[in-house]
Homo-oligomer: A and B are copies of this chain.
Amino acid sequence: MQMTEARRGSATEEMKVVARDEGRPIEQVMRSLAAGRLIIPRNVRRENIDVKGIGEGLRTKVNANVGTSPDYANIDEEVEKAKIAVKRGADTVMDLSIGGDIDEIRMKIIQAVRVPLGTVPIYQAGIKAAKRGSVVDMSSDDIFNAIRRHAEDGVDFVTVHCGVTKAAIETLRQRGRLMDVVSRGGSFLAAWIIHHGEENPLYKEFDYLLELAREYDLTLSLGDGMRPGCLADASDPAQFQELLTLGELVERAWAKDVQVMVEGPGHLPLDHVEANVKLEKSICKGAPFYVLGPIVTDLAPGYDHLVGAIGGALAAWAGADFLCYVTPSEHLCLPSIEDVKEGVTAAKIAAHVADVARGIDLERDAEMARARRKFDWGKQFELAIDSEKPKELRGKRPPMADPETCSMCSEMCAIKMVDSYLKTHGKKSSQLQPKEE
């Protein structure tokens, strides 16, 4: 197990890869991993993986969700989405399928991509129960069997909504909320708790979950089933009741050398973003924070990838480690392949903007500026976070008068103009002299 090895002071192959990829000393990676502030999700059964580190001192990572729905269950398309997401730069992929043959699609995706794969096993347990009657008919065994099944298949990290407890639901009831529960997995467990009046098995039997995680070095992603679903519910008692629970569970996981991260909002106004990150880091003792967006306005369906990029950039700058992409189809429908492209690129931009602000990834921007200065368009496309769209745009309206410039300014290019006068008149002259006749 990565955490056991790190605590022993022994560097695994995975730690070495992360240290090399990130340009960090191996000792630093080991120290952060031993303390729980850095994770390397890799199931011991997973083969053909390019491991990624997530957490302290590392570049901000991006996850792309794919998966079928009951309405659209095209396995090939979801596999294609996973491949395209990785091609566009997604560091991990989560398969959130809830339609069609869920086992088959998971296996196809795990074979199709080399990045760490995450899933939400309770979806499968709930869907299976729903087919027999209702989601709430799932038993504790059904839930744990689904998790084990995913772990056996080599899934590297799983979302487990352990914090949706009776106490959290009671807070929700007592204090009220506009959107109640918007997390799919969270809603399965909330319904189950309300129906049975019993405690969430993932909380009650958390020790068993840890044993299972230990068997596979399965990373637990502690889901935020009570995440706010609109700005009006942001940072409310139900959300923080759950966070307090997750903070306890993080420490219990670490005591068993189980790698863990914590999932966060969700819908938050911009002025709540930093506070939410700082609180997670404080309550959960620096465990990596994995945020969904955050979505900083409810008013922009069709543009939630952009809204999520605003929230994500600020969150990652404040210390969030891992951004879950949001696509333009969020709140509207199952995303298309085009949506996946837009979503990944938007999240990659947010992650990079934050990494620049954190001072850990500055050089590429300067390289781009130098390429612009030299009108080296090939280099500009090469350095771009996505090169497909800028090439396409420029191709539609190419420059006419001067191929080095762009069709916005053409021969009136500011860079060229100032450059030529500075050159003619001696760039380094210490005084501006009238033109010599």
Contact = CB atoms under 8 A, between A and B. Distances in A.
A173 interface: yes
Given A195-B425, A400-B71, A414 B333 contact: no
Interface in A264-316: 269-271, 296-303, 305-307, 309-310, 313-314
A255 interface: no
A230 B368 contact: yes
Contacts of A349: 297, 299-300, 303, 306-307, 310
Interface stretch (A12-20, A26-34, A175-183): A175-183
B407 A69 contact: yes
Interface in A347-374: 349-350, 352-354, 356-358, 362, 364-366, 368-370, 372-373
A372 B368 CA distance: 42
A302 B384 contact: yes
Most chain B CB neighbours (cut-off 10 Å) among A71, A169, A349, A385: A71
Nearest to A184: B414
B306 A386 contact: no
Interface string A321-365: 000000011111111100100000110011011101110001011
B333 A366 contact: no
Contacts of A369: 178-179, 229-233, 298
Given A299-B385, A390-B301, A393-B329, A180 B422 contact: yes
Interface stretch (A39-47, A205-213, A239-247, A427-435): A427-435
B421 A194 contact: yes
A406 B304 CA distance: 15
A24 interface: no
A16 B270 CA distance: 31
Contacts of A194: 418, 421-422, 424-425, 432
A100 to B, nearest CB: 12
A64 interface: no
A243 to B, nearest CB: 19
Contacts of A415: 179-182, 187, 229
Contact of A296 (B296, B303, B353): B353
A49 interface: no
Given A170-B432, A187-B418, A390-B301, A408 B309 contact: no
A8 interface: no
Given A302-B384, A397-B333, A310 B432 contact: no
Contacts of A69: 407-410, 412
Contact of A302 (B191, B302, B389, B431): B389
Contacts of A233: 369
A23 interface: no
A399 B230 contact: no
B191 A421 contact: yes
B356 A390 contact: no
A432 B368 contact: no
A196 interface: yes
A435 B364 contact: no
B372 A411 contact: no
B334 A70 contact: no
B303 A179 contact: no
Contact of A372 (B187, B331, B380): B331
B70 A410 contact: yes
Contacts of A330: 408
A418 B98 contact: no
A188 interface: yes
Contacts of A328: 389, 393
B299 A384 contact: yes
5 contacts: A69-B412, A174-B430, A187-B414, A299-B385, A333-B406
Given A179-B372, A229-B369, A310-B350, 10 more contacts: A98-B409, A180-B419, A187-B417, A197-B434, A270-B356, A270-B357, A314-B314, A331-B390, A333-B393, A334-B407
